[in-house]
Amino acid sequence: MVVMSAVTSSSTTSSTTRPRGARGASSRRRARRERVVASATAAEERLPRTTRLGSSGVLVTDVCLGTMTWGVQNTEGEAHAQLDYAIKERGVNFIDTAEMYPVPMSDPTWMPGTTERYIGTWLARNPGIREDVVIATKIAGFGAPAKIVNNRFPNRDRPGEATGRLDRDSVLRACDASLERLQTDYIDLYQIHWPDRYVPIGAFYGSPAYDPELERADSVPIRETVEALGALIEAGKIRHYGLSNESTFGVCEFVRAADELGVPRPVSIQNSFCLLHRSFETELAEACAESNYDIGLLPWTPLGGGALTGKYLDDARSPSDGRLVKYKKYGFHQRYLNAPSRLATSEYKKIADREGVSLATLALAWCKTRSYVSSTIIGATTMDQLRENIDAFAPSVCLSEAALRAVDEVHERCRDPSIQSDER
């Protein structure tokens, strides 16, 4: 069953800090599980801003509004409606975007930068709200196509063969272009979308096995990237920076470079993390722990591209407008529909049914129980999806200990199925 609570928490501004050494993240998560039954529904609850974004001191809601469908599957009007509902009605104070959004790039209508522009026009229509919202965006990493890179230049006349890198000039130019599209003077969290060097990110770049033969001798040194990020902080253009699709080695190298240069350390990491892909829990969780580098995880695709809603379990009834069907020919997130993932998803659906919640609520509420998660990035193409996703993070929603044990039992039987082959 879902444990409910009538306990409320007052909202605080994004600049409020929690003292270091205060009650730790793990105890905060445990407290959520210990609440008692007091109400019957979580619908329309406003979310408190109680979770620290890593070492930044910024307080954010447990849910972050993802935006990557805006500009491909969602119009500007629909994007603004999502922002109005999430931020004005539900109290969400955290938005995530990227210079390359929307996705997928395979969609014929794809135009990078569109999502940032939609956010910018919404900010322009809502004067006075900027200081109350934490905005995160990203610079694309190695090999980003010319269509993205050209967006970094005001006159858009960069040679067509240009590809993305993370050298100093690219970081500075990309940030300026994002600021222009977002119609803001600063970015709260500026993230490296993926590394400049070769990194095998399982459930993103295929096999998680590291192959030395794929190393690139001309990779931009992490130190140069960090130095550029430090310059942006010094100029007031960004307040904090984070990583994404990064490895334990990369996290440690960014921290080392930052310490050597006297630049603030990264405060967050945005990696793939969901019931079908839990590899973050191994080495990365230790490196990012509050007791070590204090880097908060921002899970992307916590619903496995929509697979963890259960809507793809029956092929005959799979929604034709669902991303995993609509973009199947491009291979988009098909890893979440392989045989091991389907089997695990069906088992998680049974747990959700016993708990009396939807599979999506189980998957999202489970992310909230992880001590290393600062905020979970959701995405929706419809308002009904958005409501359900936000509801999963309401203070009154808490999974039972029995459900959490059952989830771990399934995971023990089928570890990280999204990076397994169908033959396993």
The enclosing H or E element of 84 equals: none
Q: Report CA 97 to chain centroid distance, whole Å.
A: 9
Asked if residue 120 belongs to a domain, the reply is yes
| Average of per-residue pLDDT across 18-32 | 37
The string of pLDDT tens digits covering residues 168-224 is 999 999 999 999 999 999 999 999 999 999 998 755 555 678 899 999 999 999 999
Asked if residue 14 belongs to a domain, the reply is no
Count of structural domains within the chain = 1
Specify whether the CB–CB gap between 165 and 228 falls below 8 A. no
What is the structure's pLDDT at 16?
36
For 154, the domain range is: 2-9+24-419
Give CA angle at 384 (383, 386), nearest 5°.
60
Owner of token pair 């599979």: 359
We report the CATH number of the domain holding residue 159 as 3.20.20.100
Average pLDDT, the chain: 85
Asked if residue 231 belongs to a domain, the reply is yes
First-to-last C-alpha distance (Å) of the chain: 33
The string of pLDDT tens digits covering residues 67-97 is 999 999 999 999 999 999 999 999 999 999 9
The token pair at 405 is 């044990």
Q: How far apart are CA 98 and CA 207, in angstroms?
A: 25
Asked if residue 18 belongs to a domain, the reply is no
Asked if residue 15 belongs to a domain, the reply is no
The string of pLDDT tens digits covering residues 336-352 is 778 888 999 999 999 99
Asked if residue 408 belongs to a domain, the reply is yes
Residue 100 neighbours by CB under 8 Å, 6+ apart: 112, 138, 140, 144, 148, 193
Asked if residue 75 belongs to a domain, the reply is yes
Q: Classify each residue of 95-105 as buried b or exposed e, where b means 16 or more C-beta atoms within 10 Å of its C-beta.
A: bbbbbbbbbbb
Quote the percentage of the chain above a pLDDT of 70: 81
Give CA angle at 255 (250, 258), nearest 5°.
125
Residue 384 neighbours by CB under 8 Å, 6+ apart: none
Name which residue leads in pLDDT, 35 or 344: 344
Q: How far apart are CA 384 and CA 382, in angstroms?
A: 5
**Which DSSP state fits 211?**
-
Asked if residue 60 belongs to a domain, the reply is yes
Query: Residue 290: which pLDDT band, with cuts at 50, 70 and 90?
Result: very high
Q: Which of 101, 118, 190, 293 is catalytic?
A: 101
DSSP labels for 374-406? S-EEE--SSHHHHHHHHHTTSTT-EE-HHHHHH
What is the structure's pLDDT at 417?
79
What is the structure's pLDDT at 38?
28
**Is 330 one of the annotated active-site residues of the chain?**
no
What pTM was estimated for this model as a whole? 0.87
